[in-house]
């Protein structure tokens, strides 16, 4: 009997929801308890030190050494009072996870011959964690291969367990970024500056523009026992084989239905921990696929929101185990049913409290709204390839273009009313000087936007980049991704576009065109130039693929191909001009991504090889043997008669079928291994990724086909790996 599978199923019957006891208090009573936030800084820091930190947060000024010591002292006092014994620089290397190396607060004390707690400004501000095994894309191959972490003051420190965590950037000795945070901060700085400059046309009081991010995290839960019985889930987070369940999401009875008890207990637990960590989680529900769920917070400033997303993924993983679950952030853990994404809701807002992507109250603020809307659209149109490059990975590839997720064509959804507003603007704004009447009428029309928009932002779930009333929702981002990858690109391209806009409008003003007219004329041109990216229809349809091709839009669903977008002259110039990446950093980053791609396919291929040869083939052979015994028995009884042929015929067929699939599995695994050997010899990261993509990856589907066919034939009692129905419906 398939021992592990049935043991896991037996265990499952005993599982009970594990509600936590601490609940029963209002969230506001303990929210942020483990965060060194402003009120705590105020309490634990001297007035000078507090003001110094505030200035660093608000204006990006440097923390000086003397102040750093004071801040470290206050922080240590707070942390140790709250049970922390260790501290760590917490950072986002170019892997799929965050990194940390803990150090105890202790130093030896010669007076007592014991130890005392200590923490200095030097240790707070900068460290050299070595961390030389983290990917660097060749940036650390020289003898000066040191890597440094440096404190990101703008994201508050927090305590997890007994460790004080300091959000940091991770850079090489020569200053190149080795992480996601450093370029994100640079991109946010670039969009801040460019947007503030454009805001001056409308409001001179604006001195800072923040980028906001509200992520919606989708995920699957699988019972821990069943997970352990699936080598593919354990090692790749996705099922590499498994026939679809007779019932999965056809009835749409999971989506938004009542949350299963074991799951709600789990959610309450990790939400509780998230609140302690100051993560404002707000929404939870069942998603479309069975055992798929979603969590979304209230949006926050982009850098903080992203730290929170990375942190909560960690928390969710940890707490899941407490509840006998394993969490899957993989974009496509199960074939044939919906995968998981991480919608990135994004907007820009000013320090005067205005959401620049929200229609305003009068013609002036609405013109500002249209300006930002169209600049975003223009940026998206000009850099579609980069947006795709920022989200396509080995795992997200399974999802995009798979008729359940946004297609691998970038388009912008605006909704009927907003389309009408733009069409009207295009028609009514003249190319030459406006008459006073024209001016009045156009302003009047622009003034009307809010009324019509608020009620009319229709939804289109098939759009990868949708305007949803007061923000854009970038839906193509994968559930396992670090949002920074997408946010670096989005904020940089918008920064670049806003700078262009400013210089174009200023150019017209210099030529004597009035400011408002210069803006309107430029917007009119953008409306024309961005038509190709506007699409409100069904993004999943075959017609759209054809239509997009006619429009000349990119359609890339392959990660190695998409990554090349970072290396075009246009992209290199874009990132350099905005101070986000030097060409060398881009090349290193792409190399890291290529290697990641190769390794992921390599691991999947090895795991599937093991499952096929060591689990499935022996099972198939065993089953075949029982059939053979049966046929032989029938022959003993009936001899070589017509009765025998009549009775044993179907079993002989089954033997042939089973044998056919076994033979194919073995042959194809052999071929796949040979293909791997060839690809492994390739030293160039780009070529290796391509080889893996073209010559190894196809075997994953080929082999799976035969395994899944066998699953339909072989005795259920013998089948070693938990089946889809068990993985998807046990909870």
Which parts of this chain interact with ligand ADP (CB under 6 A)?
Answer: 212, 214, 216, 283, 296-299, 345-347, 355, 470-471
> Binding Mg ion by CB under 5 A: which of 86, 89, 186, 343?
343
Nearest to Mg ion of 376, 727 (CB atom): 376
- Closest distance between ligand ADP and the C-beta of residue 232, in Å? 31
Q: How far apart are CA 475 and CA 340, in angstroms?
A: 10
Which region among 266-274, 343-351, 532-540, 636-644 touches Mg ion (by CB under 5 A)? 343-351
Alpha-carbon dihedral 243, 249, 255, 260, rounded to 10 degrees? -50
- Residue 455 near residue 359, CB atoms below 8 Å: no
Question: Whose Cβ is closer to ligand ADP: residue 100's or residue 473's?
Answer: 473
Residues 6+ apart with CB under 8 A from 592: 94, 135, 136, 137
Closest CB 470 distance from ligand ADP, rounded Å: 5
Burial class (CB in 10 A: 0-12, 13-18, 19+), 546: exposed
Q: Measured from the CB atom, is 322 or 461 closer to Mg ion?
A: 461
CB of 453 vs ligand ADP, minimal distance in Å: 13
Nearest 5°: the CA angle 396, 397, 402 is 105
Contacted by 355, from ligand ADP, Mg ion, none: CB < 5 to 8 Å by type: ligand ADP
Residue 299 or 699: the one with the smaller Cβ distance to ligand ADP is: 299
Nearer to ligand ADP, 132 or 257 (CB): 257
Query: Which among ligand ADP, Mg ion, none contacts residue 132 (Cβ within 5 to 8 A by kind)?
Result: none
Smallest distance, Å, CB 83 to ligand ADP?
31
Does residue 309 contact residue 92 with C-beta atoms inside 8 Å?
A: no
Q: From the list Mg ion, ligand ADP, none, which binds 347 (C-beta under 5 to 8 Å, kind-based)? A: ligand ADP
Nearer to ligand ADP, 291 or 468 (CB): 468
Rounded least distance, CB 302 to ligand ADP, Å: 9
User: Does residue 471 belong to the site contacting Mg ion (CB under 5 A)?
Assistant: no
Residue nearest to ligand ADP (CB): 214
Q: Which is nearer to ligand ADP, 5 or 308 (CB)?
A: 308
Judged by beta carbon distances under 5 to 8 A according to partner kind, the member of Mg ion, ligand ADP, none in contact with residue 296 is ligand ADP
332 is a site residue for Mg ion (CB under 5 A): no
Shortest reach from residue 169's CB to ligand ADP, in Å: 24
User: What are 346's strand-pairing partners?
Assistant: 213, 472
Residues in the interface with Mg ion (CB under 5 A) total 1
Q: Which residue, 453, 438, 450, 452, is CA-closest to 520?
A: 438
Contacts of 628 (CB under 8 A, 6+ apart): 655
- Residues 611 and 241 sit within 8 Å (Cβ to Cβ): yes
Question: Which lies closer to ligand ADP via its Cβ, residue 93 or residue 214?
Answer: 214
Please choose which of ligand ADP, Mg ion, none residue 135 contacts, taking the beta carbon within 5 to 8 angstroms, the exact cut-off set by kind: none
Locate tokens 């969710």: which residue?
316
522 binds, among ligand ADP, Mg ion, none (CB under 5 to 8 A by kind): none
Rounded to a whole number of angstroms, the minimum distance from the CB of residue 343 to Mg ion is 5
Nearer to ligand ADP, 158 or 299 (CB): 299
> Nearer Cβ to ligand ADP, position 345 or 658?
345
CB of residue 576 to ligand ADP, shortest distance in Å: 28
Residue whose C-alpha is closest to residue 721's, from 66, 236, 243: 243
Q: How many Å apart are CA 699 and CA 672, to the nearest integer?
A: 6
Q: Which does 297 bind (CB under 5 to 8 A by kind): ligand ADP, Mg ion, none?
A: ligand ADP
For residues 471 and 731, which CB has a smaller minimum distance to ligand ADP in the complex? 471
DSSP character string of 303-367: HHHHHHHHHHHHHHHHHHHHTTEEEE--S-SSTTS---BEEEEEEEEETTS-BTTS--SSHHHHH
* Rounded distance between C-alpha atoms, residue 479 and residue 395, angstroms: 9
Closer residue to Mg ion in complex, CB, 343/524: 343
Distance CA 607, CA 707 (A): 14
For residues 266 and 283, what is the distance between their CA atoms, to the nearest angstrom?
14
- H helix and E strand count, the chain: 27, 17
Least Å distance, CB 602 to ligand ADP, is 36
Angle between helices 416-428 and 363-382 (to 10 degrees): 100
Structure letter (DSSP) for residue 415: -
User: Cβ of residue 299: shortest distance to Mg ion, in angstroms?
Assistant: 11
How many Å apart are CA 170 and CA 180, to the nearest integer? Answer: 8
Query: What does 501 interact with, of Mg ion, ligand ADP, none (CB < 5 to 8 A by kind)?
Result: none
Which residue, 355 or 445, has its beta carbon nearer to ligand ADP? Answer: 355
In whole angstroms, what is the distance from residue 510 CA to residue 215 CA?
A: 42
The Cα–Cα gap between 591 and 372 comes to 34
Shortest Å, Cβ 298 to ligand ADP: 5
Question: Considering the complex, what minimum distance in angstroms separates the CB of residue 294 from ligand ADP?
Answer: 8
730 binds, among ligand ADP, Mg ion, none (CB under 5 to 8 A by kind): none
Angle at CA of residue 61, ends 56 and 67, nearest 5° = 65
Chosen from Mg ion, ligand ADP, none, partner binding at 145 (C-beta under 5 to 8 Å by type): none
Which residues, listed in sequence order, are joined to residue 99 by a DSSP beta bridge?
91
CB 463, min distance to Mg ion, A: 11
User: Shortest Cβ contact with Mg ion: which residue?
Assistant: 343
303 contact choice in Mg ion, ligand ADP, none (CB below 5 to 8 Å, kind-dependent): none
The contact pattern for Mg ion, residues 121-150, with x = CB under 5 A and - = no contact, is ------------------------------
Helix (H) or strand (E) holding 390: helix 384-391
Query: Cα–Cα distance between 582 and 271 in angstroms, integer?
Result: 39
CB 362 within 8 A of CB 301: no
Q: Using CA atoms, how far apart are residues 389 and 291, in angstroms rounded to an integer?
A: 30
Q: Which residues here bind Mg ion, judged by CB under 5 A? A: 343
């Amino acid at each position: 009997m398939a021992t592990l599978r049935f043991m896991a199923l037996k265990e499952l019957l005993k599982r009970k929801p594990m509600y936590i006891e601490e609940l029963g208090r209002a969230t506001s009573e303990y929210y942020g308890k483990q965060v060194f936030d402003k009120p705590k800084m105020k309490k634990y820091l001297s007035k000078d030190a507090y003001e110094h930190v505030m200035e660093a947060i608000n204006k990006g000024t440097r923390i000086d050494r003397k102040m750093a010591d004071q801040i470290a002292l206050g922080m240590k006092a707070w942390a140790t009072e709250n049970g922390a014994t260790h501290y760590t620089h917490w950072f986002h290397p170019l892997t799929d996870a965050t990194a940390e190396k803990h150090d105890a607060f202790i130093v030896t004390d010669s007076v007592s011959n014991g130890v005392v707690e200590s923490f200095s400004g030097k240790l707070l501000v900068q460290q050299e964690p070595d961390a030389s095994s983290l990917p660097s894309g060749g940036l650390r191959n020289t003898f000066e291969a040191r890597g440094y972490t440096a404190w990101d003051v703008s994201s508050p420190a927090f305590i997890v367990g007994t460790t004080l965590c300091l959000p940091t950037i991770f850079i090489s000795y020569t200053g190149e970024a080795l992480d996601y945070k450093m370029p994100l901060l640079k991109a946010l700085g670039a969009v801040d500056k460019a947007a503030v400059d454009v805001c001056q046309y409308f409001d001179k009081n604006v001195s800072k523009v923040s980028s906001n991010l509200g992520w919606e995290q989708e995920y699957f839960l699988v019972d821990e026992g069943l997970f352990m019985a699936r080598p593919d889930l354990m090692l790749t987070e996705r099922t590499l084989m498994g026939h679809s369940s007779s019932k999965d999401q056809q009835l749409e009875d999971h989506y938004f239905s009542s949350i299963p008890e074991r799951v709600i207990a789990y959610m309450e637990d990790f939400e509780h921990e998230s609140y302690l960590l100051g993560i404002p989680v707000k929404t939870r529900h069942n998603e479309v696929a069975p055992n798929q769920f979603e969590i979304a917070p209230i949006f926050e400033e982009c850098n903080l929101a992203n730290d929170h997303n990375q942190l909560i993924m960690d928390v969710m993983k940890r707490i899941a185990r407490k509840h006998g679950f394993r969490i899957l952030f993989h974009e496509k853990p199960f074939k044939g049913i919906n995968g998981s994404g991480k919608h990135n809701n994004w907007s820009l807002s000013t320090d005067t409290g205005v959401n620049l992507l929200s229609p305003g109250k009068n013609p002036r603020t609405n013109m500002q709204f249209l300006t930002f809307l169209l600049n975003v659209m223009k940026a998206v149109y000009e850099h579609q390839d980069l947006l795709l490059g920022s989200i396509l990975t080995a795992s997200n590839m399974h999802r995009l273009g798979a008729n359940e997720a946004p297609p691998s064509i970038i388009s912008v959804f605006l909704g009927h009313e907003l389309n009408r507003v733009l069409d009207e603007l295009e028609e009514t704004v003249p190319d030459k000087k406006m008459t006073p009447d024209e001016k009045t009428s156009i302003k009047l029309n622009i003034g009307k936007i809010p009324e019509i928009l608020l009620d009319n932002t229709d939804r289109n779930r098939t759009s990868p980049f949708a305007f949803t009333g007061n923000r854009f929702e970038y839906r193509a981002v994968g559930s396992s991704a670090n949002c920074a990858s997408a946010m670096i690109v989005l904020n940089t391209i918008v920064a670049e576009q806003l700078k262009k806009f400013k210089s174009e409008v200023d150019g017209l003003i210099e030529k004597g065109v009035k400011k408002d007219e210069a803006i309107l004329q430029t917007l009119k041109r953008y409306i024309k130039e961005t038509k190709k990216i506007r699409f409100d229809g069904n993004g999943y349809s075959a017609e759209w693929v054809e239509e997009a091709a006619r429009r000349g839009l990119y359609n890339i669903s392959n990660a190695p191909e998409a990554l090349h977008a970072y290396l075009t002259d246009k992209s290199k110039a874009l990132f350099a001009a905005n101070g986000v990446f030097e060409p060398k950093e881009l090349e290193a980053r792409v190399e890291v991504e290529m290697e990641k791609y190769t390794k992921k396919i390599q691991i999947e291929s090895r795991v599937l090889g093991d499952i096929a040869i060591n689990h499935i083939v022996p099972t198939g052979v065993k089953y075949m043997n029982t059939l053979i015994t049966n046929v032989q028995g029938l022959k003993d009884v009936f001899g070589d008669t017509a009765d025998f042929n009549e009775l044993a015929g179907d079993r002989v067929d089954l033997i042939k079928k089973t044998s056919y699939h076994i033979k194919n599995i073995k042959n194809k695994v052999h071929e796949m291994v040979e293909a791997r050997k060839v690809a492994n010899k390739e030293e160039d990261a780009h070529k290796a990724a391509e080889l893996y993509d073209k010559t190894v990856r196809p075997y994953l589907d080929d082999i799976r086909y035969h395994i899944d066919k066998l699953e339909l034939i072989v005795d259920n009692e013998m089948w070693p790996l938990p089946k889809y129905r068990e993985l998807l419906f046990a909870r």
